Structure 1
Amino acid sequence: MAIAQINVARFRVAKNDPANAAFMAALDHVNAMADVADGFIWRLVGDGNDATDIAAIPDDPDFVVNMSVWRDVPALEAFAYRQADHRAVLTRRAEWFDPMEPSMALWPVADGHIPSVAEGMAMLRRLGQNGPGPEAFTFRWWREAQRGS
């Protein structure tokens, strides 16, 4: 089993506004870091080298989606929270995006499975409606489940 993640956000101002320039400029580099990270398997890519042009919600061009698949939760967590360049962008999230809950979900996928955006959005809805559990969860839930096992 591998682990998939979806991370969504809505820009505070239009995606192409100069206020978002630092975020957009960081994408290629951070994505390149993900591509070579230990445990990385796949990431969603649109027409460019990122997924910012993929319309996860029709008629909402400022809603962006990021999805990826990793070997396991520790590999994803190491990249998300300990890779310096990703962490630098993550700490500035509030500058660019409106608060949204949930904005991220993790779920197990069979080895070789590439999730669709629709699958990811469904997992995000499941997490929002049912809370975390084995089918859709957060890093916090996963860590607590590991301590309990």
Structure 2
Amino acid sequence: MTGTQDYHLAELNVGRLVAPTDDPRVADFMDNLDRINGLGKRMPGFVWMMEGSGEPGTGNTENSIGNDPQFVANLTVWQDVAALEKFVWGTVHKQFYDRRREWFDILGEQHFVMWWVPAGHRPTLDEALARLEHLRRNGPDETAFGWAQMDQATMWRDKRCVPVAAE
């Protein structure tokens, strides 16, 4: 599936910040959340983003996972893989992605997942985490997958994305 009027591409990316959101070690990340999220929302093909409180400089870091406020999630929906790929790898977002090790712990397991949703559907964080868990347990299939399963996606390969971080 490549995205149609009937289906859009959802993605979840989770990470654990190396420090609390008000710590100087993650200040550059936190200070740019609104800028990068705003850019994403203005991109052609953007559909929806899980939001936090709207408090400036917090992005959606309030949507933490479990009881760990440093474990944060980014959940968005795009018209198709080309739109998401252009935002992730073809904008200033890539510069921040390249710096992720400054701000996030290295996770020992899969932390990114994509799946198709009916147009108009807004996935919940619980739904997205279930997709991620499905991918971790079963590997990629129609229910949950990564960049490597998207034949039309090439930018992630060309931009030298580390496979464990992208799949």
Shared fold per TM-score greater than 0.5: yes
Q: Deviations over 1:69-94 (max 9, x none)?
A: 000111111111111x2111100001
* Cα distance in 1, alignment partners of residues 47 and 28 from structure 2: 26
Aligned residue number for residue 65 of structure 1:
73
Q: Is the 8 A contact 1:77 1:139 kept in 2?
A: no
User: SS state of the match for residue 151, structure 2?
Assistant: helix
Q: CA deviation at 1:14?
A: 2.4
Separation in 1 of the partners of 2:25 and 2:49?
A: 26
Inter-CA distance 75–144: structure 2 relative to 1 (3 Å threshold): closer
Q: What is the aligned partner in structure 1 of residue 42 from structure 2?
A: 36
Partner of residue 141 from structure 2, selected from 133, 140, 146:
133
CA displacement, residues 54-112 of structure 1 (integer Å, 9 cap, x when unaligned): 1322x2010000000000111111111111x2111100001111112211100000000
**Number of equivalent positions:** 144
Does the aligned pair in 1 maintain the 2:64–2:70 contact within 8 Å?
Answer: no
SS of residue paired to 1:62: strand
Q: Distance in 2 between matches of 1:16 and 1:69?
A: 28
After superposition, the Cα gap between the structure-2 partners of 1:144 and 1:29, relative to the gap in structure 1 and judged at 3 Å, is closer
Question: Can you give the 5+ residue segments of structure 2 that lack an aligned partner in the other structure?
Answer: 1-6, 154-167
Partner of 1:142: 150
In structure 2, the residue matched to 1:93 is 100
- Match of 1:32, SS state, is helix
Percent same amino acid at aligned positions? 38
Contact 1:123/1:136 (8 A) holds in 2: yes
The answer to whether residue 86 in structure 2 is matched with residue 78 in structure 1 is yes
TM-score under structure 2 length normalisation: 0.82
CA contact (8 A) 1:2 1:109 kept: yes
TM-score, normalisation: structure 1:
0.91
- Determine whether 1:52 maps to 2:77: no
